[in-house]
Amino acid sequence: MAAAGPSRVSSPQQSAGGGAKWEEPDLPDILKPHGLFGAAWKKADKSSQRVRSGQVDPGYRFPKPTLFVNVSTLEWKKTYLLNWLSARALWMSQVDVRSPSKFPSPQMWRDFLNTIDTDRLSSTRSGSMKLVVLDILGETIVQAAQGLTVVPAEIVWQGIQVQVSSLLDPPLWLMHSLLWELYELSFHYELYALDQVIVGHLWSTDEAWLNRQTCLYSIFPGESGLLMWLEPLPQELRDLGMCASSMEIALPYLNNFHELLSAWPRAPSHLQSPAQMDGKGNQECFELFLTASEFYVQTAFDFFGQQPSIPCIFSFV
């Protein structure tokens, strides 16, 4: 699929570098982080001296959601969205079943989403970068995007037929649902990767591996790995795990999150016990949630050396 030429140019947003490198762009397409996770990130010590390089691959398991909004033309936005929707299912299965040993950088994802034409790669740095992307993503996934020699009129997202022409300026509900899934998937698999490094002994036997994976999955709706992403997104907030608007709904997922983190070295001692509803504002639940969020976000930064993916608030518009 060849990328279309520019027609309407929007102002590029700030890149990940410079003084704003820790900030998400303030745009309607970008979802707001869950308040307690967002507060935890603001509080986190982002000193480079804390970073434990080399223990966890700092690459991105899924495209950064900002890549779909930080574009210079609407045609690029359409191309990025169409390529991701075309390759999404294959990539998700690869991450879950045959996870690559190295994950793409944001620039590698950009090269992929920008349509990789391996038949016309040059010897330029861009060409070399695209070969690296091809090696990481795999030929089948790249071909899923490249194979769109004739752009379809429609593509399916969450069981809904979406007009490809609408991807130039997609409706807000589409962007919110697609980016929410990317934030949630990234949070899930970064947590997975960290747990396997930090408490590797809990993944060392088949029985231990199954128990730990079950604990991890219990933090998310569906409790079954990628199968949870095969179902249509819920129409209400009640099914969104820790980010549910009701503490009564969120608490079981939150306590499972506490349980997982409690096995990590230097975990706050009060994460060892589940929180209880008190019927009077549930202050204990919120305090434990904030403690868990702060501990997770700081630990994730210490290993990744960059802003970790955190859950976002989602609602249909």
Q: Is residue 55 part of a domain?
A: yes
**Residue span of the structural domain in which 66 resides:** 35-304
Binned at pLDDT 50, 70 and 90, residue 12 comes out as: very low
Q: Is residue 21 part of a domain?
A: no
Q: Worst-scoring range by mean pLDDT, 6-15, 19-28, 121-130?
A: 6-15
Q: What is the mean pLDDT of residues 160-172?
A: 90
Q: 243 pLDDT exceeds 90?
A: no
Collapsed DSSP state (helix, strand, coil) of residue 45: coil
* 311 neighbors 33 (Cβ within 8 angstroms): yes
Q: 41 pLDDT exceeds 70?
A: yes
Amino acid 85: pLDDT: 87
CA distance 55 to 270: 27
Q: Worst-scoring range by mean pLDDT, 68-72, 96-100, 129-133, 139-143?
A: 129-133
Number of domains in the chain: 1
Q: Is residue 2 part of a domain?
A: no
Q: 109 pLDDT exceeds 70?
A: yes
Amino acid 281: pLDDT: 79
Amino acid 208: pLDDT: 93
Q: Is residue 102 part of a domain?
A: yes
Amino acid 16: pLDDT: 35
Q: What is the mean pLDDT of residues 61-86?
A: 88
Amino acid 125: pLDDT: 47
Binned at pLDDT 50, 70 and 90, residue 14 comes out as: very low
Burial of 279 (0-12, 13-18, 19+ CB in 10 A): exposed
Q: What is the mean pLDDT of residues 3-14?
A: 38
Binned at pLDDT 50, 70 and 90, residue 5 comes out as: very low
Burial of 266 (0-12, 13-18, 19+ CB in 10 A): exposed
Read off the amino acid at residue 288.
Answer: L
CA distance 219 to 197: 19
Q: Is residue 28 part of a domain?
A: no
Q: Is residue 316 part of a domain?
A: no
Residue pLDDT, tens place only, 82-107:
888 887 877 877 777 666 667 888 88
Q: Is residue 228 part of a domain?
A: yes
Q: 214 pLDDT exceeds 50?
A: yes
Average pLDDT, the chain: 79
Q: Which of 260, 252, 88 is nearest to 181 (CA)?
A: 88
141-203-187 Cα angle (round to 5): 50
Q: Is residue 5 part of a domain?
A: no
Query: Any alpha helices (H) in 12-105, and if so which ranges?
Result: 35-43, 74-97
Q: What is the mean pLDDT of residues 211-215?
A: 92
